[in-house]
Amino acid sequence: MPRAALARFAALGHRARRPDDVMDDPMLTQRSYAAFLFDMDGTLLDSIASAVRVWTRWAERHGLDAAAVVETMHGVRAIETIRRWGVPDVEREAAELTQAEIDDVDGVVAIAGVERFLSVLPPDRWAIVTSAPRALAAKRLAAAGLVPPAVLVTAEDVARGKPAPDGFLAAAKRLGADAEDCLVWEDAPAGIASAEASGASVMVVGATHHRPMATRHPVIADYEDLTVTLNGAGRLVLGLQVNQSRP
């Protein structure tokens, strides 16, 4: 297998992993999973440009440091970010901000390779768990050309958002699986913490990261080199495919 394909699996932390290390990763060679649970923003699709525009306008309207606000909004529900910054009338602010995000999906695109990857998953073996409200999730998935799964857990479906594990636990239950038997795909610290708290295994998606994330979990750049098959027991198994066109 070309080293270029293997190199798409990024470092644990900032240290580069050798190709042999990657192939020794039990996630690829030894593990099988009952189901995959995906975060949405930054994991299945890239909505960074849209989110930054909307949150920057919101922060500036309230006299806040826009860059600092943007750093805190990833992976958590809007209502939690608004509370964090001490802005009153949280429910109204969250509703207005969500509508602004629904109205601005310019530049929302699917992560490379994800449409092919999702298309081979059995419909009852994967779910999306997002901090976005349902209407926003539907709009962004449509903008990225992705069809939502039967199980879509959104901000309205849980009492506690990420980093609490409630969303992943709920999704696993609805799929008839134990969270400990699932693989969660995430991109943000709050989501990773949520997945860890649920007991699930974690794969980090680094497609929208500007710098490597320090994490103990394996990191992929995108889905281009990933394959998924069903083993004899009907469980999901990850693998790598040869792609000679990759750098």
Closest CA to 104 of 62, 44, 53, 141: 53
* C-alpha to C-alpha distance for 207 and 1, rounded to whole angstroms: 22
User: Could you give the dihedral angle defined by the CA atoms of residues 211, 219, 153 and 97, in that order, rounded to the nearest 10 degrees?
Assistant: 10
Cα 82 to Cα 15: distance, rounded to the nearest angstrom: 35
The confidence score (pLDDT) of residue 96 equals 92
Note the pLDDT tens digit of each residue in 197-214. 999 999 999 888 877 778
Is the model more confident about 172 or about 80?
A: 172
Which residues belong to the active site?
39, 41
Q: Tell me if 220 sits within 8 A of 226, measured CB to CB.
A: yes
Per cent of the chain over pLDDT 70 is 85
pLDDT digits (tens, 9 = 90+) for 19-61: 334 445 666 667 899 999 999 999 999 998 888 898 899 899 9
